[in-house]
Structure 1
């Protein structure tokens, strides 16, 4: 069934919402409850959703991610946990490493809630360009008592694909630099660290370069998202060769495979866009990743 959405952000006095379809997702119901709960609380001047909902890709496994914009005179005393508990019982609620209220509802749905003062919080949205994309602003803004939130979000409605030449050069250079690190740390016997670098740092760079070459930049900000449908199967298979168990031999093989894969899209980008390839350095990196004789 299609995923139901609010038709527009509410700026007027609360009105009785249209009933949701009986087969709608739990996320739809919780978002509708968030809207009505915020409307009923005069301290909350705006609610902005982000994440998969705003991209039209939310499903039964999606999180509920929202910014709550609270009146300046109320924000210091605003209890975010108490507000969120009005939506459903919580199994977990804490301030995460980024200073955001993170929760787990009783049905195991995850959530993140930023609590921001209205003025400064809405002004900060302008700094999100190239980091956050709101293709459907009216679906993202659940509540906007002043109109300022909707206006700010509309400025981020258009997604500008990355400029190919400069971006390909940046990614090519990043891959060379970062791939040297697992080469070095493996010689210390830090195979766990090398294993982590391959997946946490290098793989996202590789996937972005592949996306750039294939013209598949919709999920640029989270390059592993929807990978199975966004990139050719052959490239997913190459990615798979960079993974493996955490044993010294497997990590060495994965690191060598990773660099071999990195060099292919880097060479393709050089052929297409004329980006620079430090071929001598690339060969030295390959040598550094080769198993010791």
Structure 2
């Protein structure tokens, strides 16, 4: 049994035994049939309104399993590194906020909402989870294609300019945005957009060998020649993507902007 499964079971048992907990749901890889020994465990835990102010999340987590580190990240999520080096994310909210679950609908596809159900005393959790079922948001739209391409152009020009200035580290950082928007376009081309918000996840299996090679060409080390090659290849990949996608999508900026960008190299 995966160590994560033991933590999941311990979370369930602690919810059942702790009278402060109103509901609990899980999300992430283990709810999509993709969990393995490298996966995180991720939960939303709703605390009864009158108990929330004095609820001690650290104590509650300690009752699940021993941990070496627990802190609140920039998004307000409680991040836990358990002593067995399993990583966990815990969102603690008051019970009255349970309908926040319905706002997750635009973020992706939830193929098995039953697997997300951990514990409930409110009678509302299943209703909220059922709302997430069915098809995910439409990603292969004209709006998304233009958003990706326009932002690619913007990131590419910024990245090449700071590279010319000699800011290699900054150019490498900007290259991650170039990669992000190219990857969105690659996923549209290959009609593989389920992981739109986490586009690099399972990329080795999601893309065709051609698509994966195109993506690999726009990666780089922190070296001037490598960065120049990555930015050069990014234009070539973008041009190919425009040619492939333009029969189905109306681009706000035509392919001639790629020609102008090449003069910046």
2:6 equivalent in structure 1: 29
Q: Separation in 1 of the partners of 2:15 and 2:139?
A: 36
1:245 equivalent in structure 2: 221
2:152 equivalent in structure 1: 175
Partner-residue secondary structure (3-state), 2:193:
coil
Q: Separation in 2 of the partners of 1:72 and 1:282?
A: 55
Is the deviation greater in 156-165 or in 256-265? 156-165
Q: Separation in 2 of the partners of 1:67 and 1:249?
A: 46
8 Å contact 2:48–2:95 — kept in the other structure? yes
Correspondence 1:265 to 2:255: no
Q: Separation in 1 of the partners of 2:194 and 2:255?
A: 31
1:213 equivalent in structure 2: 189
Correspondence 1:203 to 2:179: yes
1:232 equivalent in structure 2: 208
TM-score (norm 1): 0.85
Give deviations 1:259-286, integer Å, cap 9, x for gaps: 2212211221113334344233221212
Higher helix share: 2
Partner-residue secondary structure (3-state), 1:246:
coil
TM-score (norm 2): 0.94
8 Å contact 1:208–1:223 — kept in the other structure? yes
1:131 equivalent in structure 2: 107
Runs of 4+ in 1 over 6 A off after TM superposition: none
In structure 2, runs of 5+ residues without a counterpart are none
2:162 to 172, 179, 185: 185
Q: Separation in 2 of the partners of 1:115 and 1:129?
A: 20
Give deviations 1:139-198, integer Å, cap 9, x for gaps: 101011112122112111121331433322222222112211102211221111111111
8 Å contact 1:134–1:153 — kept in the other structure? no
Q: Separation in 2 of the partners of 1:221 and 1:73?
A: 35
How far does residue 32 in structure 1 lie from its aligned partner after superposition? 1.1
Number of aligned residues = 264
1:280 equivalent in structure 2: 256
Q: Separation in 2 of the partners of 1:74 and 1:63?
A: 28
2:117 to 141, 146, 150: 141
Q: Separation in 1 of the partners of 2:252 and 2:54?
A: 55
Is the deviation greater in 29-38 or in 268-277? 268-277
8 Å contact 2:70–2:80 — kept in the other structure? yes
Q: Separation in 1 of the partners of 2:99 and 2:219?
A: 42
Give deviations 1:103-155, integer Å, cap 9, x for gaps: 111110001111101112x1222322312542211110101111212211211
8 Å contact 2:12–2:118 — kept in the other structure? yes
In structure 1, runs of 5+ residues without a counterpart are 1-23
